[in-house]
Chain A
Amino acid sequence: MSLYRGFETVIGLEIHAELACESKVFCTCRTAFGAAPNTQICPICLGLPGTLPRLNRQAVEFAVLAGLATGCTVAEFSRMDRKNYFYPDLPKAYQISEDTYPLCREGSVEVFGRPIGIERIHLEEDAGKLSHGKGVTLIDYNRCGVPLIEIVTAPDLRTAGEAHELVAELRRILRYLGISDCRMQEGSLRCDVNVSVRPAGSDSLGVRTEIKNLNSFQFIEKAIAFESRRQIDLICDGGTVRRETRRFDEVTGSTHSLRDKESAADYRFFPEPDIPPLRLTGADISALAARLPELPAALRARFAALGLPEADIRQLTEDRALADYFDAAAEGCENVKTLANLLLSEFLRLAEGEGFACPVPPERLRAVANLAAAGSINASTAKRLAARTWLEGIDPEETVSREGLAQITQPEALLCGIREVFGENQALISQIRSGKTAAAKALVGKCMAHFSGRAEPRLLTRLVEEELQK
């Protein structure tokens, strides 16, 4: 726990994630990102007079999956409400959301070994997008009605690092579930941060400010760090924190007051009369629970039991496709560490773009790892072979025998070659023997090259050293 001037920071997050549904939450319009402005709209998402929303079943299912994956209780009765406010990006002048009866309640997600409470997850619709130009404001309504979930955490976080990790873990979970692509730069994952401070050891909560619409991990951390310091300095200098909404300035890294909470909009929530309350049975919820994949935390625990180092586990479980690939390759693998190395060094280098799409059947990479584990090939051959399974589609075992790539482990065979190399590099050898020992490495390299990299490296090094002693 980090303390500054004897104060601790209390942080709660509101995370908005766009759901990766094929159509919008209340109509059948497409939801693709980046389409030409106002091409994915219809009378319903434009809120034309007389239109009515129809709740997208898939959006409900996705929101329930998010709740189940974060340990929430899924409500058998939930209800949409209207949140009324005027803004040009909101064509009905109200957002359909869930205020009183959210779909999911009271879950938790573990961050650095500590449970962080999830107060609620509810379903709502996104608004359009304004772009301000010279004297004109243009409105793109494509995003209007794109399904969102809002995840509200308890004020359980204490540091910017924890907040970062919670968002990262939630992003992993939502991606594992396949319900959101969580692209912060495209706005499909956005975060509001509530920050307050209190003397270390205090049980009561201080006055909080809310920083709106942070769309990168860096900004989340910077905004929290700035805001907590600002509040602590303010209090220590005899001031008081006001309840207000603040904006984070990405250029200066500071936060600025947007509006007082007291003078803030009164949303005049009331039940949405156009959508009957949603009733889910225990059976509906169980059926969705059966669709849950193995989640990142469980996978991390399982990989740790395999003896993998923490850094590899983190990297492997960042992406579900990568983790699944490793999982499949690890089955019957004699050295999972080598497997992880090959996957994380060779394959990740070759994989392009987002999401791990691998053309190599997992058993091929496992074969490379097993050849290395059995000592049939050395580490550098293993790397080259792994890369060739991807680039050339080779079968590793067949290639090793066809191309004679097997590791040379017989001392006699190695000595024979070493002497040949020594004969060709007399000058270098005299230098080493006269004290320039650093050049020994280059000599070993020349020997390895003589064997086209196939020599068992430790044995080769030992034999070279012995030869130099003679």
Chain B
Amino acid sequence: MTDFPNSDLLSLAAGLRRRDFSAAELCEAALAEISRREETLRACITVTADAARAAAKAADARLAAGDASPLCGIPFGLKDNICTAGIPTTCASRMLSGYIPPYSATAAERLCAAGAVLCAKCNMDEFSMGSSTENSAFYPTRNPRDPSRTPGGSSGGPAAAVAGGELPFALGSDTGGSIRQPAAFCGLVGMKPTYGTVSRHGLVAFASSLDQIGPLSRTVRDNAAVLAAISGPDGMDATAVRAFSLPEDTFCGDVRGLVIGLPRFAGCEVQPGVAACMDAAADRLSACGAHICEVQMPALTDALPAYYILSSAEASSNLARYDGVRYGLRADGADCYETLYSTTRSAFFGAEVRRRILLGTFSLSAGHREAFYLRAKQAAGRVRAAFHEAFSACDLLLSPTAPTVAFPLGETADPVAMYRGDLFTVPASLAGIPALSLPCGRADGLPVGAQLMAPEGGEGLLYRVAALLEEVCA
């Protein structure tokens, strides 16, 4: 068997086609890695061994018949907020422990249709609220690069599973950085596509106007292959209207003449080690012929508070359905429905989820709506306008993904300090534009992520520049 834990998706796909190994063998390798590493990493919530073996067998039959999809026979994981028919989908919440959806998310279905083999549902911050996976109701996940540290979040489980060698790729979801930040902390490539590129059908909603599913992978090329498989319009999601296809010259390795902006705004300070990696990345791009310039984007200073108000407002509505009436857990002893709601929701939502529901409900309520929700909307509008302006001068923007490297588990008890870690990722979320994080060196021995942002529909350009950076940073 090949070096499974360190192999990228496309090499494994080539190996399957050369008959170096079978999909069944790949599946066993993945399940073996999972059982060997889970005690430390705790990246998974549900391991779907039986279903995986059956899917691998089917994939072998398709490969024998000459199936063309590069994903056929490749093991993968899903963040546990992506619904899978017949397989528990918990959102790492006690509220949904034991909940088994009757249908599968479109993105999951597209991967399965391409022959990919689902091996695990992965850990996350409860309902995607958090940046460290410590808000999982079950257990925190550890960073494979340093098990005393967080893998980031909220897609910490998928990131740790891929970085830890359990699986060659996984799908996460990103609302304000939940794919990009764990990718940065774990040394992976993580893509948040343009809003509307991947169907949200079957993605348990956190903040509907911001949520996007995207791939976490070991290489840029793998990432593009997965995005190609899961993206495209879907009749089940009225907001999934964008088609995505990779331009032919994506991996030409040429960035000459591209203008790459470095956004500057108040509060954008970073750890020195992170700053050094960013400077080096800019220098390398410059050496390859790109023009590097600083872009003043003062509107981005307000992005963080605006994001937390808007995402919490939508969450307060999206999570209202967990009332103990129809599915999930129900608190005992309620004598009327009001009590049933309050006892169930108090008992089974974690502290961070309760905090955001309260914040969101408050921001939308009469008397506070203007000062919070509507002001945040206006700030989001200014962020979009700032990007629009920046992209009239630049082809794309380069920033750190996070201001720090992965921090130790249990370090950040102050939620607002934790929120501050999202300051580079939330602007692209508010603007709905695509953003990708890729490894660009190390600080204190830990991976540093560089974030590339492009105008709507600019995934191809992101992959083109990322592929070159990946090569020169390696």
- Using a CB–CB cutoff of 8 Å, the interface residues on chain A facing chain B are 43, 46-55, 82, 84, 86-88, 91-94, 137, 139, 266, 268-270, 273-276
Contacts and interface: CB of A to CB of B under 8 A. Distances in A.
Contact of B101 (A50, A55, A87): A50
Contacts of A82: 317
A270 B364 contact: yes
Nearest to B102: A43
B156 interface: no
Given A48-B327, A268-B364, A270-B317, A54 B238 contact: yes
A148 B313 CA distance: 26
Given A268-B365, A273-B209, A86 B238 contact: no
B208 A50 contact: no
B231 interface: no
B313 to A, nearest CB: 6
Given A268-B317, A276-B239, A50 B373 contact: no
Contacts of A275: 238
B4 interface: no
B361 A268 contact: yes
A88 B337 contact: yes
14 contacts: A48-B102, A48-B327, A50-B89, A50-B202, A50-B204, A50-B205, A52-B239, A54-B236, A87-B337, A266-B365, A268-B316, A268-B361, A273-B209, A276-B241
B317 A274 contact: no
A46 B326 contact: yes
Contact of B323 (A84, A93, A268, A269): A93
Contacts of A270: 313-314, 317, 364, 373
Interface string B342-369: 0000000000000000000100111001
B239 A274 contact: yes
B341 interface: yes
B314 A52 contact: no
Given A86-B341, A276-B239, A49 B209 contact: no
A273 B321 contact: no
A122 B256 CA distance: 54
Interface of B: 81-83, 89, 91, 96, 99, 101-103, 105, 200-205, 207-209, 235-239, 241, 313-314, 316-317, 320-321, 323, 325-327, 337-338, 341, 361, 364-366, 369, 373
Contacts of A268: 316-317, 361, 364-366, 369
A234 to B, nearest CB: 28
A88 B324 CA distance: 10
A275 B241 CA distance: 12
A331 to B, nearest CB: 47
Contacts of A49: 83, 89, 91, 96, 99, 101, 204-205, 321
A269 B363 CA distance: 11
Nearest to B209: A273
Chain A facing B: main interface SS:
loop
Q: Which 10 A-B pairs have the closest CB atoms?
A: A93-B320, A273-B209, A268-B364, A273-B208, A49-B204, A50-B202, A50-B83, A266-B366, A50-B204, A93-B321
Contacts of B236: 52, 54
Given A270-B314, A273-B239, A274-B237, 14 more contacts: A46-B326, A47-B321, A48-B101, A50-B81, A52-B236, A53-B238, A84-B320, A86-B320, A86-B323, A86-B337, A268-B316, A268-B366, A273-B209, A274-B208
A270 B101 CA distance: 28
Given A94-B317, A268-B364, A50 B105 contact: yes
Given A268-B361, A268-B365, A52 B325 contact: no
A91 B237 contact: no
B372 to A, nearest CB: 11
Nearest to B361: A268
A269 B365 CA distance: 9
A53 B235 CA distance: 10
B341 A276 contact: no
Contacts of B337: 86-88, 137
B105 A274 contact: no
Contacts of A55: 238
B430 to A, nearest CB: 13
Given A49-B83, A266-B365, A276-B238, A92 B102 contact: no
Nearest to B199: A52
Contacts of B99: 49
Nearest to A266: B366
Nearest to A87: B337
A137 B337 CA distance: 10
B194 to A, nearest CB: 15
Nearest to B82: A50
A84 B320 CA distance: 8
Q: Most chain-A Cβ atoms within 10 A of its Cβ — which of B96, B101, B202, B320? A: B320
A51 B327 CA distance: 14
Nearest to A44: B236
Contacts of B101: 43, 48-50
A91 B321 contact: yes
A56 B96 CA distance: 30
Nearest to A137: B337
B326 A91 contact: yes
